[in-house]
Amino acid sequence: MLEQVLAELRACGHTVERPADAGEPTALATGGSGPLDFAAEPVAVEPVGSDPTTLVERAADAARSDRATLYVTSADEATAVGDILSTPRFVADERGGFRQFYPVPDRIQLADGSYAAVRATQPTARYGESARARADRVLTWREAPGDDDPSLVLDVNRQSTVTLDSVASLTNPGPASVFPYRYTRRDGSFRVLQGDDEVGRFASIGAMRERGYQPVPVPLVPEHHLRWGTPTLGLAVVDGEQVHYERIMKSEQ
């Protein structure tokens, strides 16, 4: 899939490199005139699926290095990737000016080194869904009306459970006092605490979840990742022998 796009970029006059450094993009294209006319910007060519965290991190890396980003995806993933890249970019939804956020793999760590948890009923698993993705479906971070800035609310099984002053409150380590439970790993087991009282001890995170104690994911707040702005973005969708290109946006610095 990637090689098909790189071949078309070379045909348009781009010089294509495949950096060996793990911190560099999968491929880097410079020069040339098409297919999306990225002007004089180097283009990071990144094969992706529909994981929002990966998409925003690739954009952040490109912005930090003054590059454009060309996402490369399959026709099967194109709709899901396009939804993540549509306005408002990198958020799950927006209603009335208030955003709903995707979860990221990181968990909220508290000041004492433990991690935030809540009580949550596990949903029925979907085909091919990971245990973490299944569990995160019952937790939703969203904005709500606040005093000055929008507050940040965690819904658990559609019930408001935790409220922070704003997305700026998501400091690391996070605010321990607002979460009803926390968990820590000690002597080979995961221990769930409510205040200073231990309420459960489990052999694994999976066992903890099955008993209704759910680790709290960090919400994907785009501006926390895109501190260098948003680069010029493009999307290449590989559909059989055809590649369809779409410019997502010009850079925002």
Same domain membership, residue 214 and residue 98: yes
Both 102 and 214 in one domain: the answer is yes
Reduce the DSSP state of residue 130 to 3 states and report it. Answer: coil
Same domain, 78 and 135: no
Co-location of 201 and 114 in the same domain: yes
Q: Which pTM was predicted?
A: 0.88
Mean pLDDT of the chain: 89
Name which of 142, 128, 8, 32 is nearest 88 in CA terms. Answer: 142
Q: In what order do the strands lie in the sheet with 213-215?
A: 197-202, 189-194, 181-186, 115-119, 213-215
Looking at the structure, tell me whether residues 194 and 155 fall in a common domain: yes
41 and 99 share one domain: no
pLDDT in tens, 131-140: 777 777 789 9
Number of domains in the chain: 2
Same domain assignment for residues 168 and 199? yes
Same domain, 213 and 228: no
Residues 186 and 99 in one domain: yes
- Domain ranges, residue 127: 93-219
pLDDT digits (tens, 9 = 90+) for 33-49: 777 777 667 999 999 99
Nearest to 227 by CA among 59, 44, 89, 60: 60
The answer to whether the beta carbons of residues 45 and 25 sit under 8 Å apart is: yes
Do you know the residue count of the chain? 253
> d(Cα 224, Cα 220) in Å, to the nearest integer?
8
Quick one: 114 and 192 in the same domain? yes
Q: Do residues 66 and 130 both lie within one domain? A: no
